[in-house]
Each structure stands twice: as structure tokens, then as C-alpha cells.
């Protein structure tokens, strides 16, 4: 499930993930996927934009997919959460 | 700047905007744009997903654009904010 060229957005600050994306490109990967869900979706867009505008201007957004995942809460009930997958390409 | 078939996402709850999107489609428009920025970006994705999964299964995401806008804060300083534009098509 986990890929070498994917960055999973969680609770760290935006710049930690920007650094992760830049590092993957600098290792020679031609593509990086930024994966996020729920409230962190806004953060995924920030990460893509900051990477392109401030660090790697040659990188383009090649694809954006949105979707819905079913999750089970701590209480055992099922809930739906939106997801985003932003693909950056060099 | 404002379009007839655009929904601008602000502080209202998700279902208000879903209703706005459904209403525009029901008036006969073939396309609706969901425009959002900053923290409301996650809400824009929820609106698109709920519209498709719960109300209008024939509607598809035809395009998603992300970008950056410069804004001036109340204090007069400039700041950057990420934006998203999700196009739904019947």
C-alpha cells in the first residue's frame, strides 16, 4: 500500500511535508503523490503549492483525484471521509 | 467575476453548499464550479463528494485546479492562501 514516492499528510506542520516532497524529487523520482484526507486536505494543497512556488518551479501538478473512504471510529461506528491525491511531476 | 454556475464556499455548513450545487444542476446547468480557499478547501471536497455519492450519481468531477492567491490581512500585511476549483459535470 505504501509507495516510495508518496507523502501521507498527517499532523505535522506543512513545511515537514514540503521537505519530504523535495527530498523524494532530489533522490531522482520523477513523480510524487501527496495523499491526504479529512481536514488535512487543505494542508495537502498548501504542500503542493509551496513546493512548486518556492522550491521546485519546474514541478507541475499532473493529476488531482478526490474520493471518499469509509472509516471506523473509536466507538465502532462507520463514518465517511473525503480524500485527495495530488500528483506532482518534474 | 461571479458566475451563475459557481458556488463559493465560506463558513456555512457543508449541506448548504451541497443544496446550492444540486439546485444549480436542477435549473438545467450542465456544469457547476465549487470555489474555495484556505481551510475551506477540505469542505469543497466534501461538497463535491456528497453531491455525487448521495444526490447526483450521474455527476462526474471533470476538472480540479489548485492555485495560490495573495491576500491582504486586516493588519495590512500580505499573505498567500491556497485555492481550489472543482468542476462537476452532468
Which positions of chain B have pLDDT values less than 70? 1-3
Please, which residues have CB within 8 angstroms of residue B52's CB and are 6 or more apart in sequence? B59, B60, B61, B88
Nearest CA-CA partner of B48 in A83, A88, A59: A83
Q: Residue B82: which of A38, A42, A66 has the nearest Cβ?
A: A42
Q: How many CB pairs under 8 A join A and B?
A: 48
pTM recorded for the entire structure: 0.92
What total number of domains does chain A contain? 1
Mean pLDDT of A65-78: 92
Chain A nearest CA to B69, separation (Å)? 10
Test B49 with A66 for CB contact under 8 angstroms: yes
Confidence of residue A74 (pLDDT cuts 50, 70, 90): confident
Q: What is the per-residue pLDDT for A25? A: 96
ipTM value for the complex: 0.90
CATH of the domain at B73: 3.30.110.20
Q: Which residues of A touch B40 (CB under 8 A)?
A: 42
Structural domain boundaries, residue A26: 3-89
**Mean pLDDT of chain B, nearest integer:** 94
Amino acid at each position: 500500500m505504501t509507495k516510495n514516492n508518496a507523502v501521507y499528510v498527517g499532523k505535522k506542520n506543512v513545511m515537514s511535508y514540503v521537505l519530504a516532497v523535495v527530498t523524494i524529487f532530489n533522490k531522482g523520482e520523477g513523480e510524487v503523490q501527496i495523499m491526504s484526507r479529512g481536514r488535512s486536505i487543505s494542508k495537502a494543497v498548501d504542500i503542493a503549492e509551496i513546493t512548486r512556488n518556492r522550491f521546485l518551479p519546474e514541478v507541475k501538478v499532473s493529476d488531482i483525484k478526490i474520493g471518499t473512504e469509509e472509516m471506523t471510529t473509536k466507538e465502532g461506528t462507520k463514518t465517511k471521509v473525503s480524500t485527495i491525491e495530488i500528483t506532482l511531476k518534474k
